[in-house]
Every structure is written in C-alpha cells, then in structure tokens.
Amino acid sequence: MTYMSLSSVFISFAAIAVYAIYTILTHVINSKKSLKDQESIHRFILISSGILIGTGITSQIYIRDNKIDAIAAFSEDGSSLYNNSFLFGVMLIMLGIILGVLGIEYLRSTLWKPLEEITEYSAQFGTQFIATRLPLTGGKELQKFSERFNNNILNLSNNISQIEIRADILRTATNQAINSSSNLSGNISRISENVNNYSQLVNKQDIMLAKIDDEISNFISWYDETQIRLENQFTEIRSLSETGNMLSVNASIESVNLETQNPGIETIALKLHDLAASLDSRQDELRSLLIEIQNVYNSFSYNVRTGLEDIRSTADNATAITSSIENSLNQLKISDTEINNSSQNLIGTLNQFVDSLPNTY
C-alpha cells in the first residue's frame, strides 16, 4: 500500500464523514429540537470533524515525511505497525462515533417519535372521547342515536372504572402471593441453616468423642507402663528389706562375740549403712513416681470431664436446633397453606379481572 493508496483511503473516510455530517445537520434543521439541543449537536459535529480531519492530515504528513511502506509496516516492523494502526484507529473511532450519532438520530426519528405521538394521541382520545356527549336535539331518530351514544360512553367510563378497581385488587393479590413466597423462601433458608448448624454440631460431637477415646486409650497405655514401673520399685524395695533383715540377724549373732576381736561386725555395719542409703533412694524414686501418677490422673480426669461437658452442651444445642427445625417445618406448612390460598385468590382475582373487561365483539 503506497502513499497514494493511503490518500485514497483518507479521502474515502472524509467523504463518508462529510455525508454523515450533512445528514445530521439536515435532520437537526428540519426537526423540532430546541436551540440548546441544536447547539450541542453542532458543537459535537464540529469537534468530531476537526479531530477526524486533523488526524487524517497528521497521518498523511507522517507517512509522507517518513516514507513508510504500509505493507512492510504491517508485516515486519512492529513499532511502525503500532504507529500506523494507532492513527488509523483514531480515524475509525471518530468515524464510528459520527455514524453512531447518525444511527441514534435515525432510530429516534423512525421509532421513538412515532411511539410518543401514538401515546399522546391515545391520551387525547381517551380524555376527549369519554367526555364527549351528543346534545339531545333534532328529530326522534337523532335523539335516540344521541341517547344510545351517551349511554355507551357512560358504560365505557364505568367499565374503565371497574377495570381500574379490578386492577388494584389484582395488584394486591399479586403482592400477597409475593409476600407468601418470600415467607416460604425465608423459612426454607432458616431450615437449611439449622440443618447445617446441626450437622456441624454432630461433627463436633464426633470429634470430641474421638478425642476422649484417644485420651482414655493413652491413659490406659501409660497406666499399664506405670504399673510395671511400680512393681519394679516395690520388688527392689522388698529385696532391700530382706537383705536388711538378714544383715540385722547377722549383726545380732556377731554382737554375742563382742569380747573377741571379730571384724565381721564392722563389715555388717557398713552394709547396713549402704542398704539404708539405697532404701532412701528407692523411696525418693517411688515418691516421684506416685506424684507423676497423681498429676497424670488429674490431667486425664480434667480432659475427660471437660470433653463430656462439651458433649453435653453440644447435645443441648443440637436439641435446641432440632426444636428450631421443627418450628421452621411448622412455619413451612403454614407458608405453604398461605401460598396455596394466595395462589387461588390470585387466580380468582385474575379471572374476575378478565371477566370485567368489556366485550369487543
């Protein structure tokens, strides 16, 4: 695409823009728009035309000075593609705006204006036709015709009044049906929420029961291990006690020979001293083990008691939720009855409204 072809494209765009501007100006001049609306559209057309023409001239100068080949720009050089596409994009956007305004004006003139005229004519016809009365003058036939005409107008006016009354009744019945449906929807939402809460409480209760079961299992395992440790401690203490008894007997035997020089009594005394130290150590270990047992049992008892209280509280909440679900179900039954009554009332009112319409055949 050469510089001359770009110029031809610009000339085509300019021709279309000039045609659009001419059409809009012609429509504005021939329409019954206010002076303010005409000035706004003139201002918009002038600005749009100036931007379009200025963009076209700028693009032509840019292409001429830089000697850009449009085909190469669109296939090889990405930056040139951006520059050219940007300039042509602005031209197309402005052209699209002008054509959009033209289309809106066309729709307004071909669609909205006839609808406005029809509405205006209908309102004028309704007020003038209903208020129309023929004077009861002239011959008998003319008087009878005038009387029938006036009676028809009066009946039409009464029918319109009845239709308005029925329409209000129909509107009220529709609102009642909508309110009943809203109440039903609210009850269903509350039931769904209560069921969800109940499910969460049941899951929470299952988790608590599983936790208590783990606590009991761990305590039983620990208690079995502690029993073995206690038995070992008691066995060692029992063994030390038996050894102490034997040493005491030997000490008594050796004490008979106090007059003789026998070193056995000193040996027995040392053994008794060591035995007493061992017994003290074993008693300390046994005391520590008993304290540990007491602490572990207290913790276990507290955890189990707390878990059972939580389960009891959860059960109470579940009972309350169950009661709430039952109440919601009762409300649901009431709402269902209200909806049926409202629907029947709405259908009956609709039938009455249709029957109240005047026959046109």
* Residue pLDDT, tens place only, 97-119: 556 555 555 555 554 455 455 55
Q: Looking at 95, 130, 165, which one is the last position of a domain?
A: 130
> pLDDT band at residue 74, thresholds of 50, 70 and 90?
very low
Q: Per the domain annotation, does 347 fall within a domain? A: yes
Parent domain of 111 = 3-130
The percentage of the chain sitting over the pLDDT mark of 70, rounded to a whole number, equals 20
Q: Both 188 and 257 in a single domain? A: yes
Query: 228 and 296 share a domain?
Result: yes
Higher-confidence residue: 197 or 360? 197
Cα–Cα nearest to 46, from 24, 31, 27: 24
Q: How many C-beta atoms lie closer than 10 Å to residue 211's C-beta?
A: 15
- For residue 298, what pLDDT is reported? 77
The predicted model gives 295-299 an average pLDDT of: 78
| Cα distance between residue 190 and residue 186, in whole Å | 6
User: How much is the CA Rg of the chain, to the nearest whole Å?
Assistant: 53
pTM given for the model: 0.33
Same domain, 123 and 234: no
Domain membership of residue 75 (yes or no) is: yes
Of 115, 130, 145, which marks where a domain is finished?
Answer: 130
- How far apart (Å, rounded) are the C-alpha atoms in residues 211 and 167? 65
In a domain, 242, yes or no: yes
Q: Which of 113, 130, 147 is the last residue of a domain?
A: 130
Question: Which residue bears the tokens 């520059």?
Answer: 83
pLDDT of residue 83: 46
Same domain, 69 and 171: no
Instruction: Tell me, yes or no, whether 162 lies in a domain.
Output: yes
296 is written with which tokens? 């572990």
- Is the same domain home to 347 and 242? yes
State how far the Cα of 332 lies from the Cα of 325, in Å rounded to an integer. 10
Q: For 193-233, write each residue's pLDDT tens digit.
A: 766 776 677 777 677 777 777 777 777 777 778 778 777 77
Domain co-membership, 94 together with 15: yes
DSSP 232: H
Examine residue 138 and state whether it is found in any structural domain, yes or no: no
C-alpha dihedral sign at 5, 9, 11, 12:
positive
Are the C-beta atoms of 215 and 282 separated by less than 8 Å?
A: no
Res. 69: pLDDT tops 70: no
Give the span between the Cα atoms of 84 and 91, in whole angstroms. 11
Q: Do 166 and 123 belong together in one domain?
A: no
| Mean model confidence pLDDT for the chain | 61
Looking at residue 231, its pLDDT comes to 76
- The CATH number that applies at residue 287 is 1.10.287
pLDDT at 1: 44
126 and 163 together in one domain:
no
Asked whether residue 164 falls in the same domain as residue 53, the answer is: no
Task: Tell the residue number behind the tokens 């610009």, with chain if given.
Answer: 10
41 Cβ contact partners less than 8 Å away, ≥ 6 residues apart:
24, 28, 33, 101
As for how many domains the chain has, the answer is 2
Please tell me the distance from the alpha carbon of residue 181 to that of residue 288, in angstroms, as a whole number. Answer: 71
Query: What pLDDT, on a 0 to 100 scale, did the predictor assign at position 350?
Result: 60
Distance CA 19, CA 244 (A): 129
Confidence of residue 4 (pLDDT cuts 50, 70, 90): very low
